[in-house]
Every structure is written in C-alpha cells, then in structure tokens.
Structure 1
Amino acid sequence: MSEKISIESIDEQLFKVKIVEPDDSKIASFTHYIHNHQNGVSDYYSEDALEHVKDILGKEYPNEIITNVLAEEALQYLIFDLNKSIPFPAPEKPIFKFIDLFAGIGGFRLALQNLGGKCIFTSEWDKYSKKTYEANFGEIPFGDITKAKTKSYIPDNFDVLCAGFPCQAFSIAGRRGGFEDTRGTLFFDVAEIIKKKQPKAIFLENVKGLRNHDKGKTLATILNVLREDLNYYVPEPQILNAKEFGVPQNRERIFIVGFRKDLGIEDFQYPEPTDKSATLEDILEKNEVSVKYYLSTTYLETLKKHRARHESKGNGFGYEIIPNDGTANAVVCGGMGRERNLLYDDRLTNFKPVTKISGKVNREGIRKMTPREWARLQGFPDTFKIIVSDAQAYKQFGNSVAVPAIQATAQKIIEKLSRK
C-alpha cells in the first residue's frame, strides 16, 4: 500500500457519479457491489467494481501505484458512506430477492422493496432514467440487456424476475410460435434469462394492447414460450387498472405472472381492487405552481381548433380538461399525454411568462399537470427525487408502471412463494 495515500483521506465525493453512460458496466458494477456486500451477490460485481475504484484513484493520485490491496480497502471503506443517504434503501432484513429488467426509474423496485424484497440486479438503457434511478436508489442500472456482457452480470438464485418489456411483433407465420421464433425481440432476451436463471416466479407488465397485438399472436407466443418451452405455470394474464388501486388515473395494463412448475403452484388469483376513491384533487399541488405550466392563449386556441376539427368528423380526439373530482387519463409519453390531462387552476397571480411562448398566458386558469402531479398519479411518494428536466420527467413517469397496482400483484406472488 502506498504510504502517501491513507484510506481515511479518500474523498468519497470522487465516487459520486456525475455522468452516466448507457454501457458503463464498471460504474454499474461498483454501485451493485456497494448494495450487495452483505449477501454474497457482490462476487458477481467485485472484479469490475475494483477496476472502477482503481481508475478513480489513479486519476486522483497519478504519481502513485494503485494496488489491488489499496483498492479493496478503499472499496470496503466506501461501502459505509455511500449507503447513508439513499432515499429508498433496501430493507435491512429482506425476505426475497428479485431483479429489475427494463427498469425505467424504478417503479417495480419501489413496489417490491415495500414488500421486503432486495433488488440484486437492474438494467435500463436510457441514461436520463439511470440518473433518476441512481438518485433514488443509490444504484446505477446496467445497460442494454440484449448484450451478452450485460446478461453475464445477472446473479443466480433470485426469487422473482420483473420486467416491463416493450411490445414487439414476432415472426411466427407457419411456425409454432416457440422460443426460437421470438429472436430479435426484447421478449426473447427476457425468456433467455428465465431459461438460464430459473427464477421461482416471473412478473411481466405490458400495455393493454398486447392482448390483441398482431391478432393475438404475440401474446399467444409469449404464453406458449413461458408455459411449454420454459415450463412455468402461467395463469391467464389479467388487465388491471391503476384507478382501482388508489391513484386517480385510468391506466390499464396487462400483467403476466408465472411460477416455476416444480414449486407445485397450480392456482393464482390476481388482486381485487383495493381503493377506487381517489380523485384528481388528491394529487394536485397544494400551492400555486409556476406560470410555465399554464397554456398560452395561442396554444390553447390551437388545441380548441384541433378538437373542433375532429369533432366535426365524429371523432372524440383532442385535449381534455379533467375536473378536480374526476380521474385522469393515462399519462403517456408525448405531448398528448399532457394535453389529455389539463386542469383548471385559478390560483395564478403572476402572469409574466418565464419561458418563450406565442401569445399571452391564458386567463381561463388552464394548465398542464406538473411532473410531481404525474408522479403521484403513478403512485410515487413525494420523497421520490425528480432531478431531470420537465420534458424528461414527463417521459419517465409516462413510461413507468403504476406502483400500487404492481405492489398489490407482487404481494399475491410473494404470498404464494412464502407458502412454498
């Protein structure tokens, strides 16, 4: 060990990640090591974690030889500091382990941690989502899960595989629609991981349209692969609506649950609605919001003309203002996700624009919801950190899962596993 470098003198701020690159496995390994140093899973991440520490120390102390011994001591020292300020830490005594694929900003993780779960691997390719994930869970997801290198970091012996994978069509014309027919799709990568790691349970989430996608062939292929090729008991998937689980958002998503057949689980009941009482009023900001969320007169007039054109053709397409005692439409990516969820708010006192707009700020009190309001619609607590731009935040929450619906379903899964 160098006599010029003492462990106590190492500034932990050196290891705070400023920029996250999608394929930086060393940084991901470092944070995964930090979070799994007590459960043996750290062995999967130790080599790259050590290299990351050596890289950082080498830049800070260019004239010193950074040995493995020094790097290992520094790594152990850092464990006890970097875990202190995590907004959503893992439970101290977890009762099951899970992995989080296509993690987004951590909706699955939040739900399963609330039930006593420990996340031991996560992947997400979007660098802005990774920043939000790291800010809230202290861990940086690995990148592209389609790459063999990323899959190589996945530990063995976890209980639940979670994945909100994107929907893609399969080329199954004239074939049985099995495992090989899903190649080139993201579901294939999920299936490949299930095949190799054999988790006790799987929990997949997708858009409602998956049920009828490609005339039902896509879902049929998925179920055939899970049931026949991978040998999992998979009850009929069910569409759940977030508005029935305590958040005022009309968001329907299809959930697919499965259990490894050797566990002997032969029945599963999806959760019944837990709370239908929430209204928009429950998630609105309590104080006056910035003028930047209020529509300009020009933009509002454009929306009105746009809706009028569609109404004249018999279409119901266009902007929508949600009453305070109503239920929001599904929050989704793109402008229409916001335009379909406008509201009246007459509390604005400063009508001077803070951004470049065409026209003046409207005096009807019509505004977009804030990113925080979208977070609440998805069931994220107010302590969840929003550290990205508004545009990215809308995208992230629009892409996320509704945490309460995920948690209610996951609870049923864990109850089944605990009995076995």
Structure 2
Amino acid sequence: MSFDFVDLFSGVGGFHGALSAMGGTGVLASEIDPFAAEVYDLNWGLKPEGDVVEVAAQAEVLVPEHALLAGGFPCQPFSKGGHQRGMSEIRGQMVNEILKILAVRKPAVVFLENVRNLAGPRQRPVWNAVIQGLREAGYRVPSEPAVFSPHLLPPQFGGSPQNRERVYILGTYVGVERARRETDVEPVLLAKPVAGWDPGRWSIADDVLQAGVEGAGVYSLQPDELEWVRVWNDFLQTVRPAKLPGFPMWSGYWHADASVDQAAPEWKQVFERKNITFYRDHRMAIDRWLRRNPQLRSFPASRQKLEWQAGDGPVRDLTKCLLHFRPSGIRAKQPTYAPALVAMAQTPVYGPLGRRLTPRETARLQGFPDWFDFGDQPDAKSYKQMGNAIHIGAAYYALKRHVAANHKDIARAEGGAELVAAVTNSPQYPEVRPKHA
C-alpha cells in the first residue's frame, strides 16, 4: 500500500526519508533555501517549491490531495539559541501557512516538529495558539507536548546517539466539532528510553565514526584549538577537587580581585559567585596553573571557559571526550551520545581522534542512510543542513505510534485507509530507500 504526503519546510528531507520508508510518495515539497532544495531533489527525485507563503496562497492549485502533511516549521523564533520572539516574528507565523493548506486539503494526518522550547514556559502561549489553530482546522491533538529524542530509541528502532529533544505534534482529522471536544488526548511519545534501552550503551566510535578518516587534515583540530585543549587538560590535571563543578567554569573570575557584577542578570550572578568561591577553595592550584599557562588570557573569551559534563569518573581528559566549542565555552561530554546538532559552526569534536565529525557522520546522527548524497556543496552547508534536519528514525517511530493509537479515525478520512495500511505493515526499522529503488 502507498499514500501521498506533502513535505513543507522540507530541508534536505528528513521527513521524506521516514515517510517514503513507510511506502509514502511525496507529491509536493516546499523549501526556501535553494541549496537544501537542490540536495532534496538530488536524493528524493522531487524538486521543492519555494516560499511556503506562495504555496499556501495557491493551495487549491498547487497542493495536490494527500493523506499526510508534514512540516518542520522554522524553529528559530522558539529556540533558546534565538531571541525567542515566538509568533511576534514573521518566521514564527509560518504555522499559519500550514493551517491554510490544512483548511483546503484536510489530510488525514498532520505531523509537525519543532524545538523543545516551543512548549517551554516562555513560549507556552505560542504552544497553546498552535494547538488551538490545529483544533479549529479539525485536528484532534494533545494539549501536552510529545517530547522525544533519538538517543532514547534503540538501534533496532532507528535510533541514534544524539540527544536531540524535539516536540512532535501529531494530529488526526476528526472535524472541528470533535477536535474542540476531544481534548483529553495523551501524547504518543514519552521522553524516556524505549523497550528497556540504555542510552549509555551508545558509542560514537562504534555507531557513528567512518572508517579511514583518522588524521584527515580538513577535519583535524587546528593549532589554536589544540592549544585550548592542552591548556584546559593541564587544568584538569593540576586542579583536582573530589568532584569537578557542574556549573560552567569561568576562568575570568579566578583572581583575587574578582567580584560579582551586581548589574548582571541573576543567573549570571549565581555563576559568578560560584566561580569566585571555587577559586578561593583551590587558589594555590589554580594560580599555579595560570602561571604555567599565561596564554589563556589571549584565548577568545568563550575559550577561557570550560563546561565539564563528562561525569565524576577517574578519567579527566579532554582528549577522551566528545567536545563542543560553543559560544558559552568548551563543553566536554562522555563519547557515548552527542549533543543536538545545530545549524551553526559547532560541529562535535571526537577527542580521541582530535577531529570534528564529518558531514557523513552528522548525517548518521540524524538517521540518514550512507547513500545520502550532499552533492558537491561545501561542508559548511552540509553541516548546516544536518543541524536543521528532522531525525528520520524518531519521525518514523512517532508516526507508527500515532497511527497505532488513532487508526480507526485515520482510516475514515480521505486517503487514510491507505496510510494506515502502509504504516501498519512497514517494518520496525526505517529502511530508507533511494529515489530509484
């Protein structure tokens, strides 16, 4: 069985990978970034339309009938990494374009994805507006968000070692009257491991790394980056409290005259106070480290900060960690699962090899198959596209859960019976197929 789907804000095709693996056929995609659209066409054989605003304005003409509408609508207005302007920013209103298309075509299922912060306290009015809009369009949706991450999904279900919490919104078309009334609906996903899986079993080395990339110069750390790692590793060997601080370590406050900035936000004052206390408690060792490494003060401000999140074990060595060179500092984690990829220059660094993950390795973190082709574009664009992508395995699992819980109502809608049959009969693992398969 097969079903037709529409893929809005399609990026390079994370939703397409999941839906086509279930037997779905993409009948329309929309992506405003021409580079992402080119990669989408290259891999899936479907050339995306451009601006979704124009698509929605001509929905009756441009948008074919379909059983499922998917969309990873722009997340920057809701992300903690942005200004969190929500619906007040034009990109935050893109969900309205989705609602326009739903009003015209009324597909059996709507499947949306966004950052975790969409349903956070600061954006709760935005979340409520999105949910209300979907109900007014006739879709039964839960009031509470379904938050999930692919690292909670075992490999046999299509999971991957990336801690990428996202909100999944899945709705079933039941008509406006029922959608308004049937609001006591449980989310189909819970933010906990699936089938007894232990996320600590993931391994970047075994589950992500490509063979034969060791020592590849283009991905290797540069001399200044190696020096940052060396100096902070010297700190870890010199200053040895029983437990390393869980708060960000800011070396700029490690001197005798440091004081709390009373004009700073309260959260920052808390970290300043903790760092001043930490310095006083370990002053002799820290001063010895600073005298040995005066070049620290010439590092970029963000590289004078360390965020140790690699646990309390005996091994305190950045070269054995997964590193992130973030605006907030150098973050170190155990090399089990990676933090969420972002659409910025923060590619994870695998410490044991002293190099960044390759675009292919970031694609593996997002559940994309190894045949996925980035074309001849620069790596920077591939990294950005993976940072913006939908995780294929998580999307696949979420839809299977939704269809299992709502199959009777889905089957009643136009094209819904085919959708239910295809998803129900699809395998447990998303066997993503090339466009010519």
TM-score band, normalised by shorter chain: 0.5 to 0.7
What is the CA-CA distance between 1:168 and the residue it aligns to?
6.9
d(CA) in 2 for partners of 1:271, 1:375: 23
The amino acid that maps onto 1:367 is R
Match for residue 146 of structure 1?
53
Aligned match for 1:247, one of 157, 160, 170: 160
In the aligned structure 1, how far is the partner of 2:16 from the partner of 2:175? 26
Equivalences for residues 1-400 of structure 1 within 5 A: 94=2, 96-147=3-54, 151=59, 153-167=61-75, 185-212=93-120, 214-227=122-135, 229-235=136-142, 236-245=144-153, 246-262=159-175, 270-271=188-189, 273=194, 275=197, 276=199, 277-281=201-205, 282-289=207-214, 290-302=216-228, 309=251, 313=272, 314=275, 316=307, 317-324=328-335, 326-335=336-345, 337-338=346-347, 341-345=348-352, 365-387=353-375, 388-400=377-389
Contact 1:98-1:118 at 8 Å conserved across structures: yes
Task: Please tell me whether the aligned partners of residues 242 and 248 of structure 1 are also in contact (alpha carbons under 8 angstroms).
Answer: yes
SS in 1 for 2:11: coil
Three-state SS of the structure 1 residue aligned to 2:6 is: strand
Distance 1:150 1:138 in 2: 23
Q: Which moved more, 1:400-409 or 1:257-266?
A: 257-266
8 Å Cα contact 1:115-1:411 kept in structure 2: no
Which deviates more from structure 2 when the two are superposed, residues 146-155 or residues 97-106? 146-155
C-alpha deviation, 1:139, in angstroms: 1.6
CA contact (8 A) 2:60 2:104 kept: no
The residue identity in structure 1 corresponding to 2:378 is S
Q: Which moved more, 1:161-170 or 1:297-306?
A: 297-306
Deviation sequence 1:301-333 (CA, Å, 0-9, x none): 357679754785447342235544x11111111
Normalised by the length of structure 2, the TM-score is 0.61
Q: CA deviation at 1:255?
A: 0.7
Deviations 1:368-411 (A, max 9, x none): 11111100001111111121211000000010011111000112
Whole-angstrom distance in 2 between the partners of 1:311 and 1:283 = 38
Residue type of the alignment partner of 1:248: P
Q: Count how many residue pairs are aligned between Structure 1 and Structure 2.
A: 295
SS of corresponding position for 2:218? helix
Displacement after TM superposition at 1:260 (Å): 1.0
Instruction: After TM superposition, give the deviation of residue 135 of structure 1 in Å.
Output: 1.1
- Are the equivalent residues in 2 in contact too, given 1:233–1:259 (CA < 8 A)? yes
Q: How many Å separate the matches in 1 of 2:91 and 2:384?
A: 28
CA distance in 1, matches of 2:355, 2:332: 9
> Which residue pairs with 2:392 in the alignment?
403
Over 3 Å counting, the alpha-carbon distance change for 1:199 and 1:222 in structure 2 is same
Relative to structure 1, the CA distance from residue 301 to residue 153 in structure 2 (aligned partners, 3 Å threshold; closer, same or farther) is farther
Alpha-carbon offset, residue 215 of structure 1: 4.3
After alignment, is 190-199 or 367-376 more displaced? 190-199
Give unmatched runs, 5+ long, in structure 2: 79-86, 154-158, 233-247, 255-271, 276-304, 308-327, 412-437
Identify the structure with bigger relative contact order (alpha carbons < 8 Å, sequence gap 6+).
2
Kept after mapping to 1: 8 A contact 2:140/2:171? yes
> Structure 1 pair 129/307, CA: closer, same or farther in 2 (3 Å)?
farther
Instruction: Give the CA RMSD over aligned residues.
Output: 3.1
Q: CA deviation at 1:130?
A: 1.0
Q: Deviations over 1:10-43 (max 9, x none)?
A: xxxxxxxxxxxxxxxxxxxxxxxxxxxxxxxxxx
C-alpha distance 374-183 of structure 1, shift in aligned 2 (>3 A): closer
Percent same amino acid at aligned positions? 30
Asked whether the equivalents of residues 307 and 319 of structure 1 are also in contact (C-alpha less than 8 Å), the reply is no
State the AA in 1 paired with 2:374: I
Distance of aligned partners of 1:284 and 1:122 in 2 relative to their CA distance in 1, 3 Å threshold: same
How far the C-alpha of 1:226 sits from its partner, in A, is 1.2
